Structure 1
Amino acid sequence: MTLPHPDARLIDAVTGAVVPGTALAAAAGAYAGRTPGVVFLPMPTTVDAVVRYVSAFEAGRPLALLDPTLPAETLADFVDRFEPAVVAGPLPDDTPKGYRFTSDERLGPLWERETPSAAVPHPDLAVLLATSGSTGNPKLVRLSRAAIAANTASIIEALGITGADVTVSSLPFYYSFGMSVLNTHLAAGATVVVEADGLLGRGFWPAVTEHGVTSLALVPSQYEILRRLRFDPAKYPSLHTLTQAGGRLRTELIEDFHGRMKSVSGRLFVMYGQTEAAPRLTTLPADRLTEKLGSVGPAVPGGQLSVRLDDGTESTEPDVRGEVLYRGPNVMLGYAETAADLARGDDQGGLLETGDLGHLDADGYLFIDGRLKRFGKVFGVRLNLDDIEGMLPGPAAAVAGDDKIIVFVVGGAGDATRLRQDLAERLKLHWSGFEVRDIGALPLLSNGKTDYRTLESAR
């Protein structure tokens, strides 16, 4: 797959500078002569970062998209574990042992490995994305070029993206949903407006108007923001499509924004995805949203859904509840925890065990009923709830709410505001993603373990 269509365009919302798809593709030569191996790319929301990403992808270099605000010690751990050949800026001051600091006119400041890693990346490996949020030692999801290409083509088809579309960077590019929005629009020959400040920034909505943005991709917390802003799509005549993924959107908000968009002949698409699927698995057609309210839709083109029952058998029968399984060409190769794992081939065989509980209806539309494993999502970032509990004072429990983590603390939460801020600082997320509640005693099962089902019912 060639990522940028010749007609694609990047527009810098601040300067108005335009980078055409032909120039993006030509930038691949920037990696010629560099140490072979994986490229680490911190991805701030800038045109330069997108150019570095596309140039590495087009050069056939496996690359990891990283949060540019990673603490220096976390980046150092990643470099130590995965032995990248090149690390692009922004960079901390201390160059790691075995690397030299250099600079390139097209790539900016770099750390370049002095000798190639003994672990040679698998030839199918294209993109690496961190999972498990900021807790523990995040693994990297290994995505092949074929998986990226398959999901890009599926989403272009499912959403009807064309060269006439214009989107804006409402999500970080290192986040799988944000990467997918970028990929689909570049591949379709559409326009991507790069605006770094986000929904609450002074420049965001003027950029939507000035550049004729037609589609906006958001996670649930951003829909909460839009509601508080009293978003009126009639103020933005070019905007005809909203898409949602990154966690469960409250039914009330689905109905609300469906109505808002329908009032201007626009559309709302509800989707379900995981980084491990490059990343989108389902899309609920906008014209069936009311009929299928609560569903995340059927599998994207090329994919198949089923559920695994307690006895290990699989079913596609309606209303049978089990672990959601997905098969398709967009499924990851597997995970990586060290450089040696980057040499591995396909460990999954096209099968993704999602860890979510769900059921299908008679039309094959998926409904998510809960989680099998102890994870939650905040602002699209997956967090290990057990790790979060380890950060809490005294007896406590954490459960996943709708795009937030709810913390129950025994015997008084003390300064709940301070506790929320502490969690936010440690996990590099906004404090509004956490809610603290006082509880007299944690409910227990007969085996003495915390009864999380009871806590979840009290959300």
Structure 2
Amino acid sequence: MTLLGAGARLIDVAGGRTLAGQELDAEVARLAAALAELPSGVLFARMSVDLASVLNYLAAFESGRAIALIDPALDADVLSGLIERFRPAAVLSAPEGDVPAEYAASDGHWVRTTAAAVEPHPELAVLLPTSGSTGNPKLVRLSRGAVYSNADAIARVLGIDSDEIAPTSLPLHYSYGLSVLNSHLVRGATVVIEPSGVLGRGFWDAVNEHKVTSLAGVPYHYEMLRRLKFDPAKYPTLRTLTQAGGKLRDDLVAQFNDKIRAVGGRMFVMYGQTEAAPRMTTVPAERLAEKLGSAGPALPGGAFAVRRDDGSETTHPKIVGEVVYRGPNVMMGYAEDETGLAKGDEYGGVLATGDLGYLDEDGFLFITGRLKRIGKVFGNRVSLDDLEQAVRTAAVGIDVVAAVPAGDKVVLFAEGADKDICKDAAKALSERLHLHVSGFDVRPVDTVPLLASGKIDYRTLEARV
């Protein structure tokens, strides 16, 4: 079970280096041997978008060493807390500054110098934090089989082969970004490592220079590309767009689908969670216009059901409830500290997603909200996701908005809006929900804060309320 399919290539734009074939295999093997010399326990790797981070990850996976992928921008105190709880063998690509107790600096890493730690379960391959740059995250435990099966399923439904060339448009510690890497390498395709991201000039230079064929983005990226008047005709080899990481509004899905189809390309909308390694659905490109708003059918090997209030499950069309997924890519469970690393599979391939939704007659999933994304306005429960969508479709000039609960009202932060537009948005919500306008506090903000994944940083916004 290897992620390095025959012909896989890594193009390091910053270093001007390409690794492929025997040279790539040899570099991964060399690093794997070095990792084997480290103390017992899980590895932590701060995953910048660079060649060294990719190679560390591949070396760990190929050698069977469990590795936790950490945001390099993680708050120092959060990283310290994770180290204290999980006692990793080493922190690869460690930050500058004070070395924690029980660790010594070595070749840019922190290596544990004290007694043996808990040995991770032999099937455990990858651990990903459940939250962003703040809080006290748990780690999602993903087995080798889960990571590999998801990479293989995604490669199948997207038609990835050795001719595909994908850029690192997303952070590598983020499950969607990692999925792009995995699903291309497993098919012997090429990954272009370019750190500046979709909004950077260097990124688009690399798209043209290296003849990139696909682009992965979250909703925020597509909102920004719309503002920048993205035209795929300027990039002759770029003919596949993929979108996950949250629901993109239907009008933008239609807009980008039309743009890419006009030049002979295709667009795929997907749905997933870190706990599913991470993707669970893909809308077939040829049915995207027909199934606008859908997350698609389950990936090969997976299946959906809807859990009703009484706890029973159904696949009957149009019944709304909690979405339950079954598949080989479901996590083993969570780890709160190092003792959790030794645990086996606690979920048995079944994941209650926490999302609300329904299936249609063709088995296509439609997500309607989150069980926990709920606020109250004068005692009335409201979906915060629905409020955001209502503001975006209210034709008041707000595209990027984030809603958070605030006692008996809801605060919505509107990017780039002035006070008059905010008043119009609050009025539109009041009229739509038949609740007094004072229950909707719409505030202008220069920029809605984002996590490294491109998702909205709701924790930061909640702290401003």
Match of 2:295, as an amino acid?
V
Deviation at 1:122, TM superposition (A): 1.0
**1:39–1:436 CA distance, 2 compared to 1 (3 A):** closer
Farther off after superposition, 229-238 or 270-279 = 229-238
Q: What is the DSSP-based 3-state SS (H/G/I as helix, E as strand, rest coil) of the residue aligned with 1:342?
A: helix
Conservation of the 8 A alpha-carbon contact between 2:411 and 2:441: no
Conservation of the 8 A alpha-carbon contact between 2:354 and 2:370: yes
Deviation at 1:25, TM superposition (A): 3.5
Q: 2:86 aligns with which of 72, 82, 87?
A: 82
Q: Deviations over 1:3-44 (max 9, x none)?
A: 112411111123431011424532322213211211100011
CA distance in structure 2 between the partners assigned to 1:151 and 1:400 by the alignment? 35
Match of 2:347, as an amino acid?
Q
Q: How does 1:378-457 map to 2 (within 5 A)?
A: 397=410, 416-417=444-445, 424=449
Conservation of the 8 A alpha-carbon contact between 1:246 and 1:273: yes
Q: Sequence identity, in percent?
A: 52
Match of 1:252, as an amino acid?
D
1:30 maps to 2:34: yes
Q: Deviations over 1:391-428 (max 9, x none)?
A: x7x876457999xxx999979979854xx77x849x77
1:269 maps to 2:273: no
Match of 1:285, as an amino acid?
P
**1:90–1:101 CA distance, 2 compared to 1 (3 A):** closer
Q: What is the DSSP-based 3-state SS (H/G/I as helix, E as strand, rest coil) of the residue aligned with 1:143?
A: strand
Structure 2: gaps (5+ residues): 375-383, 389-401, 416-421, 427-436
Q: How does 1:116-131 map to 2 (within 5 A)?
A: 116-131=115-130
Match of 1:258, as an amino acid?
N
CA distance in structure 2 between the partners assigned to 1:19 and 1:175 by the alignment? 23
Q: How does 1:132-147 map to 2 (within 5 A)?
A: 132-147=131-146
Match of 1:61, as an amino acid?
R
**Counterpart position of 2:16:** 16
CA distance in structure 1 between the partners assigned to 2:455 and 2:444 by the alignment? 11
Conservation of the 8 A alpha-carbon contact between 1:130 and 1:140: yes
Conservation of the 8 A alpha-carbon contact between 2:47 and 2:71: yes
Output the aligned Cα RMSD: 3.1
**1:282–1:59 CA distance, 2 compared to 1 (3 A):** same
**1:399–1:37 CA distance, 2 compared to 1 (3 A):** farther
**1:169–1:360 CA distance, 2 compared to 1 (3 A):** same
**1:11–1:359 CA distance, 2 compared to 1 (3 A):** same
Q: Deviations over 1:338-369 (max 9, x none)?
A: 11111111111100000011111111110111
Deviation at 1:278, TM superposition (A): 0.1
Moved >6 Å (runs of 4+): 375-378, 399-402, 406-415, 427-437
**1:134–1:363 CA distance, 2 compared to 1 (3 A):** same
Deviation at 1:93, TM superposition (A): 1.5
Q: What is the DSSP-based 3-state SS (H/G/I as helix, E as strand, rest coil) of the residue aligned with 1:203?
A: helix
Q: How does 1:26-175 map to 2 (within 5 A)?
A: 26=29, 27-103=31-107, 109-175=108-174
Q: What is the DSSP-based 3-state SS (H/G/I as helix, E as strand, rest coil) of the residue aligned with 2:201?
A: coil
Deviation at 1:97, TM superposition (A): 1.2
Conservation of the 8 A alpha-carbon contact between 1:413 and 1:436: no
CA distance in structure 1 between the partners assigned to 2:281 and 2:214 by the alignment? 18
Match of 1:298, as an amino acid?
P
CA distance in structure 1 between the partners assigned to 2:164 and 2:175 by the alignment? 20
**1:56–1:431 CA distance, 2 compared to 1 (3 A):** closer
**Counterpart position of 1:5:** 5
Q: Deviations over 1:93-137 (max 9, x none)?
A: 11111112212xxxxx11111134442211111100011334431
**1:185–1:412 CA distance, 2 compared to 1 (3 A):** closer
Count of paired positions: 416
CA distance in structure 2 between the partners assigned to 1:289 and 1:412 by the alignment? 34
Q: What is the DSSP-based 3-state SS (H/G/I as helix, E as strand, rest coil) of the residue aligned with 1:22?
A: helix
CA distance in structure 1 between the partners assigned to 2:454 and 2:438 by the alignment? 24
Deviation at 1:202, TM superposition (A): 1.9
**1:259–1:431 CA distance, 2 compared to 1 (3 A):** closer
**Counterpart position of 2:318:** 319
Deviation at 1:251, TM superposition (A): 0.3
Match of 1:131, as an amino acid?
T
CA distance in structure 2 between the partners assigned to 1:2 and 1:319 by the alignment? 40
Q: What is the DSSP-based 3-state SS (H/G/I as helix, E as strand, rest coil) of the residue aligned with 1:90?
A: coil
Conservation of the 8 A alpha-carbon contact between 1:131 and 1:141: yes
Deviation at 1:329, TM superposition (A): 0.5
CA distance in structure 2 between the partners assigned to 1:343 and 1:401 by the alignment? 45
Match of 1:189, as an amino acid?
G
TM-score w.r.t. length of structure 2: 0.82
CA distance in structure 1 between the partners assigned to 2:414 and 2:308 by the alignment? 25
Conservation of the 8 A alpha-carbon contact between 2:245 and 2:455: no
Conservation of the 8 A alpha-carbon contact between 2:413 and 2:444: no
**Counterpart position of 1:285:** 284
CA distance in structure 2 between the partners assigned to 1:358 and 1:180 by the alignment? 24
Conservation of the 8 A alpha-carbon contact between 2:412 and 2:441: no
CA distance in structure 1 between the partners assigned to 2:226 and 2:410 by the alignment? 30
**1:24–1:309 CA distance, 2 compared to 1 (3 A):** farther
**Counterpart position of 1:445:** none
Match of 1:170, as an amino acid?
S
CA distance in structure 2 between the partners assigned to 1:59 and 1:331 by the alignment? 22
Q: Deviations over 1:203-227 (max 9, x none)?
A: 1111000100001100000001111
Conservation of the 8 A alpha-carbon contact between 2:78 and 2:134: no
Deviation at 1:90, TM superposition (A): 3.5
Q: What is the DSSP-based 3-state SS (H/G/I as helix, E as strand, rest coil) of the residue aligned with 1:36?
A: coil
Conservation of the 8 A alpha-carbon contact between 1:306 and 1:326: yes
Structure 1: gaps (5+ residues): 104-108, 379-384, 443-459
CA distance in structure 2 between the partners assigned to 1:370 and 1:132 by the alignment? 19
TM-score w.r.t. length of structure 1: 0.83
Match of 2:3, as an amino acid?
L
